[in-house]
């Protein structure tokens, strides 16, 4: 349970072994490739050609995912429509797979399938081009139909609108409302026909009058019809519509064909991650110094996995020279935290969100886990909700069996549910049912046995308030204590004792004092004495290391004045009380509404009340889960970490640990286990 010790692994090998060694490292998942030193006559080269090829392949696979997603959506839409053709909708799963695979299996799977998969992708790309064509053509035809609409009333083929020996003909559009110009000015013999909308006009006149009619038409903003086909407007529209229908069918067919790629979704995901790792390998190579014949690779490995990593590389490339060394001061060593099952979910979801510790820094996770667990239940404070939360989370973990750390968030909430049950029982919160009703049943009376405090009965609310602040005092004292320990380890012993441990003493004094006032302890003045001792230490701490008496005084004053911040921090823990109250009171309101409905509406009231109670409590649980999660994080980040923790480390990210769709196995922990086993075996004979 701590920040794991790291070793630096430096290896020199033949250039031809490059890929073999990287493959071994990905398979092990124990090493993070670091930028190697700049040795004489070496270069760090980035293979731009290969990189571009991998990126292009990744883009193609991504395209396949997004095209399949579109296809799925379109088919869904089409099968919902009225003309629902029977489409057997295949399932499409583009989420991350809950699957752990070996890197060797991934490679063999990809080498086996790659060719087929890319031909499927090129099919999809083909479909996409055809769909674009269909879309363009449909749009063109629809647009043409709109233009044709003005001519639908003229039963004449476009091709026959042309001048004969004696007659001139016009077909086109005029500006709306200019119809009158034509009607008034037209000659006796001219024939004028208007479409229903009044925009389309057909005019026929003797050739002698052509000029006169032309002038009139120009005055009416006439524009000549662009169509010349051997069809009437109606025929052409029907033809277009028929083609549009054909295109729609073709579109559906394409989507149906594309849906056959759905069953390769998993293989495509593996392919994606394979190239994702290939890119990561290139990134690693770009960091290694190389000559044309050899290269130097530097990597961070956990101390426990160093031996295994070394031997596996030797297996893959016997000519490689490997040196394992301890990190030097100032090296950018990544942090790998090894925690037990209880602590690690809190470490991943609470501490890591803030920042992981620097290498060699104190691991705050055990403390965070303890306090987060403790506060969570206090804030949610209803045992009924706790039971539901724990059951739901543990059931999910049991049935889904998330691989690697993907279930840690759920696990954290499951654990916090246990804390909620504990505190809920103490506060007597069972779905906010009031105690007089609980008294009515045997189970209720049993549950009430655990009740120590009733937050909603007069002065006991103050007890809960006091407890919230008390928990705050404990966490803040722990924060100062850890700060002191950190300083102690950095050899600032006096600073630690007078500036940090002094606060622990003061807070301890306060606790004793409060217990004395409550009559739990009979200590008379011990509390005050302890607190004053702490205060004296604090004053000394402010003056420490300063020679000028004025500066000493200012330092001491600053230290004591800083007490205001500490008390503000303690008051911040009042939120524990506030949030605890929220859950209880809203739950109570929901129950009251339920009871009211049962009273008001006979018989049917029970059904309605059940819906209200279920919905209401679900809402209350969810909204308070969010609130509790957020405020609990805040207490850790601001009030607790503010005292001692920087979180400026960099998380250990071994080669092959970053994937998008599947998880790769790693030997980080197995190496650890075999190592300890070996040690035990070695130790046995000596015993």
> Which residues make up the interface to another protein (CB under 8 A)?
353, 456, 458-459, 461-462, 465, 571-572, 574-575, 577-579, 581-582, 585-586, 589, 592, 623, 626-627, 630-631, 633-634, 637-638
| C-alpha to C-alpha distance for 219 and 221, rounded to whole angstroms | 5
Question: In the bound complex, what is the minimum distance in angstroms from residue 578's beta carbon to another protein?
Answer: 4
User: Which residue's CB is nearer to another protein, number 510 or number 637?
Assistant: 637
For the stretch 554-576, what's the b/e string if a residue is b when 16 or more beta carbons lie within 10 angstroms of its beta carbon? Answer: ebbeebeeeeeebeebbebbebb
User: Which residue's CB is nearer to another protein, number 89 or number 574?
Assistant: 574
Q: Phi and psi at residue 26, in whole multiples of 5°?
A: -65, -40
Question: In the bound complex, what is the minimum distance in angstroms from residue 355's beta carbon to another protein?
Answer: 11
Question: In the bound complex, what is the minimum distance in angstroms from residue 436's beta carbon to another protein?
Answer: 14
Question: In the bound complex, what is the minimum distance in angstroms from residue 588's beta carbon to another protein?
Answer: 8
SS3 506: helix
User: Which residue's CB is nearer to another protein, number 424 or number 587?
Assistant: 587
Contacts of residue 53, defined as CB under 8 A and 6 or more positions apart, other chains included, come to none
| C-alpha to C-alpha distance for 411 and 397, rounded to whole angstroms | 7
| C-alpha to C-alpha distance for 618 and 625, rounded to whole angstroms | 10
| C-alpha to C-alpha distance for 395 and 374, rounded to whole angstroms | 23
- For 256, the token pair is 């149906």
Radius of gyration for the alpha carbons in the chain, expressed in angstroms and rounded: 39
- For 254, the token pair is 């394409």
Q: What count of Cα atoms within 13 Å lies in the side-chain half-sphere of residue 298?
A: 19
Closest by CA to 620, choosing from 651, 649, 579, is: 579
**Burial class, 173, CB count within 10 angstroms (exposed 0-12 / middle 13-18 / buried 19+):** buried
User: Which residue's CB is nearer to another protein, number 601 or number 630?
Assistant: 630
DSSP state of 520: S
Question: In the bound complex, what is the minimum distance in angstroms from residue 631's beta carbon to another protein?
Answer: 6
| C-alpha to C-alpha distance for 321 and 71, rounded to whole angstroms | 53
Question: In the bound complex, what is the minimum distance in angstroms from residue 344's beta carbon to another protein?
Answer: 18
Question: In the bound complex, what is the minimum distance in angstroms from residue 147's beta carbon to another protein?
Answer: 33
Question: In the bound complex, what is the minimum distance in angstroms from residue 591's beta carbon to another protein?
Answer: 12
User: Which residue's CB is nearer to another protein, number 559 or number 582?
Assistant: 582
Angle at 28 between CA 26 and CA 30, to 5 degrees: 95
Q: Phi and psi at residue 38, in whole multiples of 5°?
A: -85, 100
Question: In the bound complex, what is the minimum distance in angstroms from residue 574's beta carbon to another protein?
Answer: 5
Question: In the bound complex, what is the minimum distance in angstroms from residue 464's beta carbon to another protein?
Answer: 11
Neighbours of 584 (CB within 10 A): 23
Element spanning 202, H or E: strand 200-206
Question: In the bound complex, what is the minimum distance in angstroms from residue 573's beta carbon to another protein?
Answer: 11
Greatest alpha-carbon pair distance for the chain in Å reads 129
Question: In the bound complex, what is the minimum distance in angstroms from residue 332's beta carbon to another protein?
Answer: 22
User: Which residue's CB is nearer to another protein, number 35 or number 589?
Assistant: 589
Question: In the bound complex, what is the minimum distance in angstroms from residue 627's beta carbon to another protein?
Answer: 6
- For 258, the token pair is 């594309």
Specify whether the CB–CB gap between 71 and 255 falls below 8 A: yes
Helices (H), 201-355: 210-219, 233-259, 265-286, 303-316, 343-346, 352-354
User: Which residue's CB is nearer to another protein, number 299 or number 579?
Assistant: 579
Specify whether the CB–CB gap between 515 and 521 falls below 8 A: yes
Question: In the bound complex, what is the minimum distance in angstroms from residue 267's beta carbon to another protein?
Answer: 23
| C-alpha to C-alpha distance for 419 and 382, rounded to whole angstroms | 10
User: Which residue's CB is nearer to another protein, number 536 or number 581?
Assistant: 581
SS3 171: strand
User: Which residue's CB is nearer to another protein, number 194 or number 354?
Assistant: 354
User: Which residue's CB is nearer to another protein, number 617 or number 631?
Assistant: 631
User: Which residue's CB is nearer to another protein, number 452 or number 623?
Assistant: 623
* DSSP secondary structure of 378-441: HHH--HHHHHHHHHHHHHHHHHH---TTTTHHHHHHHHHHHHHHHHHHHHT-STT--HHHHTTS
Q: How many whole angstroms from its chain centre is CA 665?
A: 22
User: Which residue's CB is nearer to another protein, number 15 or number 623?
Assistant: 623
User: Which residue's CB is nearer to another protein, number 465 or number 510?
Assistant: 465
User: Which residue's CB is nearer to another protein, number 402 or number 627?
Assistant: 627
Total length of the chain: 687
SS3 6: strand
Q: Which residue has the tokens 């330092």?
A: 555
User: Which residue's CB is nearer to another protein, number 43 or number 622?
Assistant: 622
Q: Which residue has the tokens 């049962």?
A: 598
Specify whether the CB–CB gap between 449 and 436 falls below 8 A: no
Question: In the bound complex, what is the minimum distance in angstroms from residue 350's beta carbon to another protein?
Answer: 9
């Amino acid at each position: 349970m701590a920040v794991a010790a790291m070793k630096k692994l430096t290896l020199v090998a033949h250039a031809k072994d490059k890929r073999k060694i990287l493959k071994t490292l990905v398979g092990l998942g124990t090493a993070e490739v670091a930028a190697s030193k700049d040795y004489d006559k070496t270069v760090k080269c980035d293979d731009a050609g290969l990189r571009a090829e991998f990126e292009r392949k990744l883009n193609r696979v991504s395209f396949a995912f997004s095209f399949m997603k579109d296809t799925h959506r379109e088919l869904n839409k089409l099968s919902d429509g009225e003309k629902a053709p029977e489409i057997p909708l295949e399932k499409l799963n583009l989420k991350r797979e809950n699957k752990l695979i070996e890197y060797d299996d991934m490679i063999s799977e990809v080498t086996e399938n790659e060719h087929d998969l890319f031909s499927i992708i090129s099919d999809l790309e083909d479909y996409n081009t055809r769909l674009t064509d269909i879309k363009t053509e449909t749009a063109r035809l629809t647009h043409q139909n709109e233009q044709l609409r003005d001519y639908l009333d003229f039963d004449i083929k476009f091709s026959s609108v042309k001048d004969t020996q004696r007659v001139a003909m016009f077909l086109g559009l005029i500006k709306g409302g200019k119809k009158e110009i034509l009607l008034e000015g037209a000659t006796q013999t001219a024939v004028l026909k208007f479409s229903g909308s009044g925009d389309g006009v057909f005019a026929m006149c003797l050739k002698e009058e052509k000029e006169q009619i032309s002038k009139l038409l120009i005055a009416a903003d006439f524009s000549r019809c662009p169509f010349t086909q051997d069809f009437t407007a109606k025929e052409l529209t029907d033809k277009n519509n028929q083609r549009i229908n054909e295109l729609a069918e073709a579109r559906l067919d394409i989507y149906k064909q594309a849906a056959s790629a759905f069953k390769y979704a998993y293989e495509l995901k593996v392919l994606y991650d394979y190239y994702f790792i290939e890119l990561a390998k290139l990134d690693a190579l770009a960091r290694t110094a190389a000559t044309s014949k050899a290269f130097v690779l530097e990597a961070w490995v956990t101390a426990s996995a160093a031996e295994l990593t070394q031997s596996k590389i030797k297996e893959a490339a016997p000519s490689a020279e490997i040196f394992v060394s301890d990190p030097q001061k100032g090296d950018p060593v990544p942090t790998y935290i090894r925690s037990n099952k209880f602590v690690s979910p809190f470490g991943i979801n609470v501490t890591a969100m803030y920042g992981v510790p620097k290498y060699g820094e104190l691991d705050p996770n055990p403390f965070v886990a303890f306090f987060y667990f403790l506060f969570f239940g206090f804030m949610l404070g209803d045992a009924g909700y706790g039971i539901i939360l724990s059951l739901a989370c543990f059931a999910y973990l049991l049935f889904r069996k998330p691989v690697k750390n993907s279930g840690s968030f759920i696990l954290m909430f499951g654990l916090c549910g246990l804390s909620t049950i504990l505190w809920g029982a103490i506060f007597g919160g069972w779905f906010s049912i009031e105690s007089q009703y609980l008294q009515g049943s045997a189970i209720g009376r049993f549950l009430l046995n655990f009740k120590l405090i009733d937050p909603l009965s007069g002065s006991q609310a103050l007890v809960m308030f006091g407890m919230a602040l008390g928990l705050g005092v404990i966490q803040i004292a722990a924060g100062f204590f850890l700060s002191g320990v950190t300083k102690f380890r950095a050899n600032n012993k006096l600073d630690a004792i007078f500036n940090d441990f002094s606060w622990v003493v003061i807070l301890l004094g306060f606790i004793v004092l409060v217990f004395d006032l409550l009559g739990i302890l009979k200590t008379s003045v011990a509390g005050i004495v302890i607190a004053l001792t702490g205060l004296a230490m604090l004053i000394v701490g402010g003056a420490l290391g300063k020679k000028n008496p004025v500066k000493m005084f200012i330092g001491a004053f600053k230290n004591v004045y800083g007490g205001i911040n500490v008390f503000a921090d303690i008051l911040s823990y009042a939120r524990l009380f506030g949030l605890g109250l929220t859950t209880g009171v809203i739950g109570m309101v929901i129950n009251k509404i339920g009871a009211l409905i049962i009273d008001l509406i006979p018989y049917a009231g029970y059904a309605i009340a059940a819906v209200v109670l279920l919905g209401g409590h679900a809402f209350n649980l969810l909204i308070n889960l969010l609130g509790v999660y957020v405020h609990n994080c805040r207490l850790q980040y601001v009030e607790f970490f503010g005292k001692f923790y920087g979180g400026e480390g960099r998380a250990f990210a071994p080669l092959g640990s970053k994937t998008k769709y599947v998880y790769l196995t790693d030997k980080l922990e197995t190496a650890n286990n075999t190592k300890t086993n070996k040690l035990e075996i070695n130790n046995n004979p000596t015993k």
